[in-house]
Amino acid sequence: MAQPLLLVHGLWMQPLAMRWWAQRLRLHGFSPDVVGYHSLREAPEAIASRLAAAIAARPGTAIVAHSLGGLLAVCAAARVAAAAGRIVCLGSPLAGSRAATALATCLPGGARLLGPQRALLERGLPAVPDGLCVGMVAGIRAHGLGRVVARLPRPNDGTVALVETALPGLAARVTVAASHSGLLWSGQALAQALAFLRDGRFRPDPAAADV
C-alpha cells in the first residue's frame, strides 16, 4: 500500500509548483496529495489547521515542503505529532528569513508582498517540536531574487542562507547543488528526500554532503 504524503508549496506559489515532486514520488511508492493555499490571503494558523487535519485523517502521513511550506508543515505536524510521518523541508528558512525582513522593511510595499506570512517568515521557529522527525535539504547555488533585496551570508541558495535552514532538533541536514527555485526540480534533492523518508537519514553523497 502506498504511503500517504503531503506536498506543500512555498510563498507566492500554486499547487502546480509541486507537480514534478508528485509525479516522481508516486513512482517510488508514495501516494502524494498537493495541499494548496493562498499565501497572501490565508493566515498561517488557518493553513496549519488544514494541514494538521489532513495528517490526522491519514496517520503516518509524510510531508515534503518547499520554503515557507516547510515552516507551515512543521507548525501543522506539531499539532498532531503522534500521527505525523517524516518531514522533508526543501530550503525552508526555519530559523527566519533575512530576505523576508529586508523585503518588508526596505522596499515600499514590501510588507504587502509577504501578507499574513510576514511574522512567521521573519522570526522562524525556536526549535523542532518534540515528537517530529524533520530533515532539511538546503540548496547552495546562489541564484535568486533574495540576493537582490538582502545581503545573504554564504553559502546560500539565492533566497535562503544555509545558516537559516539550521534549527535545534533537526534530525539531519544535507546540501545539494541547487538554487532556491531549483530545489523544485532537483534530482539530487529528490534522491536525498527519498532516503530520508525511507530511513530517517540522508545519503553520504559527495555531491550532497551532510552538514
Q: At a CB cut-off of 8 Å and minimum separation 6, what does 16 contact?
A: none
| CA neighbours closer than 13 Å in the CB half-sphere of residue 142 | 11
Residue 137 lies in a domain: yes
- Residue 21 domain-assigned (yes or no): yes
Does some domain include residue 205? no
Q: How far is CA 23 from CA 27, 62, 78, 105, 180, in A?
A: 7, 16, 27, 38, 20
What local confidence, expressed as pLDDT, does residue 151 receive?
82
Asked whether residue 210 is domain-assigned, the answer is no
Asked if the structure places residue 209 within a domain, the reply is no
Q: How confident is the model at residue 147 (pLDDT cuts 50, 70, 90)?
A: low
Alpha-carbon distance of 89 to 99, in angstroms, equals 18
What total number of domains does the chain contain?
A: 1
Would you say residue 158 lies in a domain? yes
**Host domain of residue 29:** 3-199
pLDDT of residue 146: 54
d(CA 9, CA 53): 17
Q: Write the pLDDT tens digit of every residue in 78-127.
A: 999 999 999 999 999 999 999 999 999 987 888 999 999 999 999 999 99
CATH of the domain at 17: 3.40.50.1820
Domain membership of residue 106 (yes or no) is yes
Q: Dump pLDDT digits (tens) for 5-59.
A: 999 999 999 999 999 999 999 999 999 999 999 999 999 999 999 999 999 999 9
Which whole number is the average pLDDT over 150-174? 95
- Whether 206 is covered by a domain: the verdict is no
